[in-house]
Chains A and B, each alone.
Chain A
Amino acid sequence: MILERLGKELLYFDGGTGTLLQSKGLKPGELPETWNLLHTEEMVDIHRQYFEAGSDIVLTNTFGANALKFHNTEFELEDIVTAAVVNVKEGAYLGVHDNREVYTGLDIGPTGKLLKPMGDLSFEDAYEAFRQVVMCGEAAGADLIHIETMSDTYEMKAAVLAAKENTNLPVFATMIFDEKGKLLTGGDVPSVVALLEGLRVDALGINCGLGPEQMLPILDEIMKYATIPVIVKPNAGLPKQRDGEVYYDVVPEKFADVMQEIVRHGASAVGGCCGTTPDHIRAMIHKTKGMRDLESQNRPVPSEVTIVSSYGRAVILGEKPVIIGERINPTGKKKFRQALKDHDIDYILREGIEQQDNGAHILDVNVGLPDIDEPTLMKEVVTELQSVTSLPLQIDTVDAEALEAAMRIYNGKPMVNSVNGKQESMDTVFPLVKKYGGVVVGLTLDEDGIPETAEGRARVAGKIIKEAEKYGISRKDIVIDVLAMTISSDPKGAKTTLEALWLVREQYGVCTVLGVSNISFGLPYRPAVNSHFYTMALQAGLSAGIINPMSEDMMRSYYSFCALMNYDENCEQYIARYGNQTSMQTVSKNTEITLRMAIEKGLKEEAHHAASALLGIKEPLEIINEQMIPALDEVGKGFEKGTVFLPQLLMSADAAKIAFAVLKDEMEKKGGTSQKKEKVILATVKGDIHDIGKNIVKVLLENYGFDVIDLGKDVAPELIVETAVKEQVQLVGLSALMTTTVVSMEDTIKLLREKKPDCKVMVGGAVLNQEYADMIGADFYGKDAMQSVYYAQQLLEKR
């Protein structure tokens, strides 16, 4: 079994196949995978050469063999994969002369598509494509699954899950980094290591993209975080071009020299990628065979680091204190609750972005409300948040189904909030953490409640850590929350918490987390108590506080603490934040400006100020009719005439939006209900991922009082029609950028005519014109955003 050898003795992979195939006659543009069936002898011969050179693991010629990339009507994918496995085994039969144990690695490469939300491939479809290949590979007799050359952690996650859920084979996973140690999709080394170890692959590493020399520093970085065996498979140098052909020029001897260095720096399995040949592998093996017994060597010792990650960054706990933003949570927040009920995802996203801009490192995400479909909503919010922020997320829910749904589609290694000492809780949460990976918050309470003493809480922490070990979850993936009890009901609450923080760290060496604000519940002027308690907790060793980053008191504590305790080099962060404090306070607001002018000029703060001031003397409706509508009309007309331009139009819209919000608050305070709004559906059609035009129309329609149901981009006709029927919508706005996607627009219109004939359709987008719009049967063509507003007004008889 390979797993018994992995990490204990140095294992050798094969090298590149592309160059060898070309020398045997593979033409540019020809699918290499077809050679498994068309040129079996040549394929077997290539594998044989690698086995003869000494490779332990030879990979199948299936790099592009997935349904999304392999388009060939002549051959079935299954036949290709099966033949590929058989060919390697045949190569082993011919090429291994010394009775050593060798392995067939089923090679899995990327789909060549970018996953949603940035691209158009869904996580589920990617999973499905990989599932088909891995099942086939296992059936054909592969010994392990080797996923490689991935540049997207999300696609990697889909592939690993497909391999682990559908086969019993060991899974190796390697990614392609650039010279700066970054993935094309932005991830860095710790984020990749966190994700892959979280998914419990058997080995991880780096391949392709770089030569051995450029990989050395990246390997060193990997070794800082990885606790499982590491694979390194470089190209024969950096790619060069001659006469339009790509080639690599690091010769076998040179390659072998650096590979020896790579083994010394900690690699447990080595091989080659593009441009490497059996000669490279032979030279490498010759040079390193004395290092075969890894355990006898003085190699880097793995360190246990607590890492939470997203696709683009890793946050390390246990060093500098970390801020977990608490604001995405409906508890005690009327507006947030309303946003959840209205499915106002943008509101939630803004809460996230604001916290990021204000210094949060991780965002807690809680969308639990009675009568809400939490699994669906949690999944959606997590996905959407990951499209606007690269901060790692802390999935906060008591609903096991919602937890699993979110952990599955999360791009990275999340924080999980939470598990506690109750057996039932641990039985539910730990299997999920084991499967998907995560850093889990352990609350120190159990069947007997919350222990009153610090020792009691530490005991529960110990219980949680011990139970986690049964699942193979190490303590680096557990952070303990010793719970802050409000001091107005428990006078010793704060002292106990601080003692417990220290104790837990001392006894178990784990990181800690704390919901800080609870301490002051029931007291007046809570920020004072909270921020002081926060500083005390940090001093007691708190790794991560769950706090409100929008509270200046808390942030002051944080930045001061970091400056005082040498976590902030040269007090740079402190100075960046507070350096211009005095000048910030003296910025004078122009209070002379009227609301109408503020909107026309697109001045947000002034609009807010002017609207608030006007409320003292006028009714909200008067303000709307006398100042706001004339201002919006003026700007709209200017836009039509070509004296006002798009950015200005949108700045005015933003200013008006802020003034509306002020007035709406006032109306709600007086118990009035805002009048019922007309609904309009907006969508960018299926296949189209450019949505900026649609979003511009949305902003303006909302400004003019319409209730916009925004279905997003790449939207299937069925969903648009279904929503129009369900919500009884009279107007649908569709956007398409290119000729290739206008087809979907036409399909959507046809389906609408059939299922909801009373609904009107307006269309817009770069390639459209009146003629085109008529041709596909639209009711209205909006040449710019204002035209759609006028049409909607006219149609729905607003004002």
Chain B
Amino acid sequence: MDTLTREAVRYLGYGNHAVDEQTMALVRTSIEELRDIARDRIIYRIFELETDGNESVKIGKLDIKSKNLAKNVRGCSQAVLLGATLGIETDQLIRKYTVTNMPRAVVLQACAAAYLEEVLDQWQDGLKAEMLEEGWYLRPRFSPGYGDFDIRHQKELLQMLDGAKKIGLTVTDGMMLSPTKSVTAVIGVSKENVPCHRSGCEMCGKTDCIYRRNSR
């Protein structure tokens, strides 16, 4: 099973269990459909970063109070701000299946989430190599809404990126990204290569989550 499929299945709540054939077929179809219709777009900008490594992080002119983020970017002097979206076509397709075929809607939305992560991983690998040439190392990406990184910063990040104009990524009054299959994130950049054993899912404190990634 490739990573994309494995992640999609995890989002569907299967944990360690084997996946039934019907669901697996739906996952395959959904991924194919996404490759066809998703218009994934990424925008990023690099800003100066200052942090006390404890709680306060300053990216460009933006002040953020977050212990989790500060820890994540400890020792960094720059930050990549990132916005990414699969576009409204994906939302529209999920909505269509919500009316005609609910199992498919649910599987598609899980696949879309996994698909976006894959797109970002691949993009980040490219950026990592590019930055390394100039001696810079990247930290794992960290998004508003995780840990104590307040989701309200979503709006400021998007303004700094001009996300609405550049990639059609907007934020609602309730601080939700729209299109829904979208991400904003901060990636710390430093001159020192700090090995990161834990990233993403494993870093979260909610250990009883049914969607938690297995350590194996």
Contacts and interface: CB of A to CB of B under 8 A. Distances in A.
Interface stretch (A132-140, A195-203, A216-224, A736-744): A736-744
Contacts of A739: 151
Interface in B154-198: 159-160, 164-165, 167-168, 170, 172-176, 178-180
Nearest to B41: A184
A740 B151 contact: yes
A645 interface: yes
Interface stretch (A162-170, A387-395, A772-780): A387-395
A185 interface: yes
B122 to A, nearest CB: 19
A687 interface: yes
Interface stretch (A106-114, A468-476, A750-758): A106-114
A388 B145 contact: no
B174 A687 contact: yes
A389 B96 contact: yes
B135 interface: no
B51 interface: no
Given A110-B165, A244-B46, A645-B23, A692 B98 contact: yes
Contact of A642 (B17, B23, B172): B17
Contact of A689 (B89, B96, B176): B176
Contacts of A686: 174
B45 interface: yes
B133 to A, nearest CB: 15
Interface stretch (A77-85, A333-341, A537-545, A648-656): A648-656
A92 interface: no
A131 to B, nearest CB: 20
A151 interface: yes
Contacts of B152: 740
B22 A648 contact: yes
Contacts of B168: 114, 151-152, 184-185
B186 to A, nearest CB: 14
Contact of B96 (A353, A687, A699): A353
A289 B134 CA distance: 47
Interface residues of A, number: 61
Interface string B7-27: 000001111010110110010
Interface residues of B, number: 55
25 contacts: A29-B61, A29-B159, A110-B165, A112-B164, A113-B164, A114-B168, A114-B170, A114-B178, A120-B173, A184-B167, A244-B45, A346-B99, A349-B99, A390-B92, A645-B23, A647-B26, A647-B107, A648-B22, A650-B102, A650-B103, A651-B103, A689-B176, A738-B151, A738-B174, A740-B174
A254 interface: no
A243 B101 CA distance: 48
Point out which of B13, B145, B174, B179 has the most chain A C-beta atoms below 10 A from its C-beta: B174
B72 interface: no
A699 B106 CA distance: 12
Interface string B74-117: 00001000000001110110111011111101110100000000
B99 A738 contact: no
B149 interface: no
A114 B45 contact: no
Contacts of B109: 692
